[in-house]
């Protein structure tokens, strides 16, 4: 039986700590990259990839404001569920940080 995204998210929430990262992949036309937000249970290894509506041209990074806003929103939502969200730099993402302070370890290249 296949595990659903909702079930995996529940398991991540139950773990209490999640790592947030970003990745992109080319769309069917190869003219755009579609961005995915990934949440992984730090302790249990479950990973959920959530597609976003964010797209860039190949080789182009997501704007910092965009990464920061989405990252802080997810951290706030997960924090409300009692989950500490960790960025790729290994530090907690605190929603109240000014833009630019928490994106360094989160932006995918």
Number of separate domains in the chain? 1
d(CA 50, CA 42): 17
Mean pLDDT taken over the chain? 78
Contacts of 40 (CB under 8 A, 6+ apart): 12, 18, 19, 21, 46, 47, 48
pLDDT over 90, % of the chain: 13
The rounded distance, in Å, linking the Cα atoms of 61 and 55 is 10
Q: Does the global pTM surpass 0.85? A: no
User: How far is Cα 76 from Cα 65, in angstroms, rounded to an integer?
Assistant: 16
For 32-80, the pLDDT digits (tens) are 999 998 888 887 778 889 888 889 999 888 888 888 888 888 888 888 8
Which domain, by its residues, includes 29? 5-86
Collapsed DSSP state (helix, strand, coil) of residue 67: helix
35 assigned to some structural domain? yes
Is residue 34, in this structure, part of any structural domain at all? yes
């Amino acid at each position: 039986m296949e595990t659903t995204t909702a079930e995996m998210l529940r398991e991540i929430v139950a773990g209490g700590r999640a790592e947030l990262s970003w990745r992109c992949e080319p769309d069917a036309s190869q003219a755009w990259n579609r961005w995915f937000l990934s949440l992984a249970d730090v302790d249990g290894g479950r990973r959920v990839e959530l597609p976003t509506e964010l797209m860039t041209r190949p080789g182009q990074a997501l704007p910092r404001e965009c990464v920061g806003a989405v990252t802080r929103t997810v951290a706030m939502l997960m924090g409300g569920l009692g989950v500490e969200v960790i960025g790729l730099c290994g530090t907690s993402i605190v929603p109240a940080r000014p833009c630019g302070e928490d994106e360094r370890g989160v932006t995918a290249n």
